[in-house]
Chain A
Amino acid sequence: MDDIQILDTVERYIRGEMNPDERLHFENLRKSSPEVDQMVVEHTLFLQQMNRFAEWKKFRSVLHNTHTNLSEQGKINSAKLKGKAKVVYLWNRYKRVAAIAAVIAGVTALIFTSLVNFLNPGTDSAKVQELSRDIPNIKHQQNMQVNEVNNLKNEVNNIKNKINLQSIPFKAGGTGFLIDGKGYLITNAHIVHTSRNIAVTNNKGDQYRAVLVKEFPDKDIAILKIDDDKFKPLSSIPYGISKTESDVAEPIYTLGYPRNDIVYSEGYLSARTGFNGDTLSCQLGIAANPGNSGGPVFNHEGEVIGILSTKETEAEGVAFAIQSKYIFNAISELKKSSKDTSYQNLRVPTKSSVRGMDTKEQVKKIQDYVFFVKGD
């Protein structure tokens, strides 16, 4: 009961409902008793909050009533949308959905069109023939342009890095394969020999910018490095590079990009030497096409035994590969000649982790590490 009375008194005090005598008396009480004082302070805060809350609620209901009144009187646009406003509203609300739907529809249409084209046998063979004619044309053009290109080379070198890959008309194409997950590739020197810009594409179609680290024209080996923020270093390379020479008649296969898709072909090691007894290379009996250049030659244990580089023009199915031991030579030369310390960490895999798998499984693992190399 006491507490109730005290609270009542405090409330009357805060609201100023006391007469002067009572007030004086209470203020004395407040001074003498810290508990009462504390109660006054606390309750004042509480009442203030309550008052503001009451006003807030009242104002909200005023607003609500005003809204209802005004929209009933038609002085503001009512909540119900009609005619054009509704269309505009729906359009604004769903334009994103509509855009996505349109994109999906467009993509589907494109896929179907390309599928129909692709599956149509008549046009297909025509395209293959066109391609085989295109290559000499390009080569011819390229030869004519070499002089001009060389003149312009120095000027253009400065702006090299700013050039968008998409806008570069790549003319030379070949294959390359990773020797280090950090993005070091081996390919033929003749592919990138005259190139100002190099791009590599994996079998998923992701294109990265690459730079020439060093080329060894005498061995026809070039070391590239992928220099692109998009490229994520790969953990381990499934194949090893063989240090030893292989035996004649050993079955071999290669992966390469004679066209935009990765292509598998197989054959055998015909001879331990290359064209005219060249000891740098070895002879393969395999169907190879322009574009297979720079591709890795695997034995059936998934070891790289060579780099496919040339083919005999006068005989079909005869190709030559640079022996894999020269990859090691090239890399040790690079480490010796270059001051760049990052090359010292270059590790070439010697053990194949796909050993013992059948060829189909090996290719599945390996194909992500074989790149389409393009140069202009």
Chain B
Amino acid sequence: MKSENNEKALLQGLARSDKKAVEAIYKENYNMIQSLILNNNGSADDAKDIFQEAMIVLYERARSGSFELNCQIRTYIYSVCRRLWLKRLQQLNRYSSEVSDVIETVPVDDEIEDHERRNTEFEMMDKAIDSLGQPCRSLLEAYYLQKKSMQEIAVSFGYTNADNAKTQKYKCLMRLKKIFFSQYKNGSL
């Protein structure tokens, strides 16, 4: 009962991307995943990649609110990693005998599909922002991602006043939206 509450608390922490919760889950599960990947044709870098993907899947689920984990976090992470790694092996055409299981798994295909869809969306956004070039990129990141106010931005970017910064931001935003919506239509819809 205690451990169950503990896991719930961890998930709530994860949903807020609370550092302590992330660290606790990381510490608890990373070595297991690293040995899974290393024993199945992967490198330590692969292990880090796969584990962090799985953490994001878990994070998204924890955030979705309606989420009830009906198995241990450990089992869930293992299942996701296992599935992701098999997929990766297939893509690389690397030899893969069936991954040998140390612990039981739960079906996670739906979540992985969602995750991959989100990933491509985010990568699209990343690319779109990247392709704007400077100073647009920093300007938009400062406003939309770091949520700075126009006054702060005007100061740190050396604009004479907030209105000038706004004009500049507007131009950049229009460019970004144009790229984003064209990709959005082509890509995921």
Interface positions of A (Cβ within 8 A of B)? 3-4, 7-8, 42, 46-47, 49-60, 62-64, 66-67, 69-70, 75-81, 85, 88-89, 92-93, 96
Residues of B within 8 A of A67 (CB): 26, 30, 48, 52
Residues B170 and A63 in contact, CB atoms below 8 Å apart? no
Cross-chain contact A66 with B122 (CB below 8 angstroms): no
A92 touches B38 (CB 8 A): yes
Are the CB atoms of A50 and B45 closer together than 8 Å?
A: no
A79 to B52, CA, bound (A): 14
Q: What are 13 inter-chain pairs, A to B, with CB distance below 8 A?
A: A4-B166, A47-B144, A50-B125, A54-B146, A56-B56, A57-B122, A60-B52, A63-B22, A63-B52, A75-B27, A76-B34, A77-B34, A80-B44
Residues of B within 8 A of A75 (CB): 27
Please tell me the size bucket of the interface on B. Answer: 35 or more
Q: Are B166 and A8 in contact (CB under 8 A)?
A: yes
Secondary structure type dominating chain A contacts: helix
When the two chains form their complex, are residues A3 and B170 in contact, meaning their CB atoms are under 8 A apart? yes
Question: Given A63-B22, A89-B43: A49 and B56 within 8 A (CB)?
Answer: no
Chain B interface main SS type: helix
Partner-A contacts on B (CB < 8 A): 17, 19, 22-23, 26-27, 30-31, 34, 38-41, 43-45, 48, 52, 55-56, 59, 95, 118, 121-122, 125-126, 144-147, 166-167, 170, 173, 177, 180-181
Tell me whether A76 and B17 are in contact (CB under 8 A).
no
Contacts of A93 in B (CB 8 A): 41, 43
- Count how many pairs of residues, one from A and one from B, have CB atoms less than 8 Å apart in the complex: 93
Closest to B129 in A: A53
Q: Given the complex of chains A and B, what is the CA–CA distance between A96 and B96 in angstroms?
A: 10
Q: Complex Cα distance A213/B27, Å?
A: 73
Contacting residues, chain B, for A54 (C-beta < 8 A): 144-147
**Chain A proximity of B21: nearest CB distance (Å):** 10
Find chain B residues with CB under 8 A from A3 CB: 170
Q: What's the nearest-Cβ distance from chain A to residue B124, in Å?
A: 10
In Å, the complex CA distance between A54 and B173 comes to 16
Whether the pair A7, B145 counts as a contact (CB closer than 8 A) is: no
A4-B170, A62-B19, A93-B41 known; 20 new pairs, CB 8 Å cut-off, are A46-B177, A47-B144, A49-B121, A50-B145, A56-B56, A56-B118, A58-B17, A63-B22, A63-B26, A63-B56, A66-B19, A66-B23, A76-B31, A77-B30, A79-B45, A80-B44, A85-B38, A89-B43, A92-B40, A93-B43
Chain B residue with the shortest CB-CB distance to A1: B167
Docked Cα-Cα span, A155 to B47, in Å, equals 60
B146 to chain A: closest residue by CB: A54
A70 and B30 form a contact (CB under 8 A): yes
Closest chain-A Cβ to B53's Cβ sits at a distance in Å of 10
Per the bound structure, the CA–CA distance linking A277 and B151 in Å amounts to 121
Residues of chain B within 8 A (CB-CB) of A96 are 95
How distant is A374 from chain B, measured CB to nearest CB, in Å? Answer: 38
* Complex alpha-carbon distance, A4 and B59, angstroms: 36
CA distance A78 to B38 in the complex (A): 13
With both beta carbons as reference points, the residue of chain B lying nearest to A46 in the complex is identified as B177
Q: Report the separation of the CA atoms of residues A8 and B162 in the bound assembly, to the nearest whole angstrom.
A: 12
Given known contacts A70-B26, A77-B31, A60 and B43 CB-to-CB distance under 8 angstroms: no
Contacts of B147 in A (CB 8 A): 54
| Cα–Cα distance between A89 and B36 once the two chains are bound (Å) | 11
Rounded to whole Å, the gap between the CB of A172 and the closest CB of chain B is 44
Instruction: Report the nearest B residue to A61, measured CB to CB.
Output: B17
Contact between B39 and A56, CB atoms less than 8 A apart: no
Report chain B residues within 8 Å CB of A60. 52, 56
In angstroms, how far is the closest chain B Cβ from the Cβ of A84? Answer: 11
Q: Which residues of the other chain, B, contact A57 by a CB distance below 8 angstroms?
A: 122, 145
In the assembled complex, the CB of A43 is this many whole angstroms from the nearest CB of chain B, namely 8
A77 CA to B39 CA, complexed, in Å: 14
Q: A residues within 8 A CB of B39?
A: 88, 92
Q: Do A89 and B38 touch across chains, with their CB atoms under 8 A apart?
A: yes
CB distance from A156 to the nearest CB of B (A): 39
Q: Which of A49, A54, A56, A60 has the most CB of B within 10 A?
A: A56
Residues of B within 8 A of A50 (CB): 125, 144-145
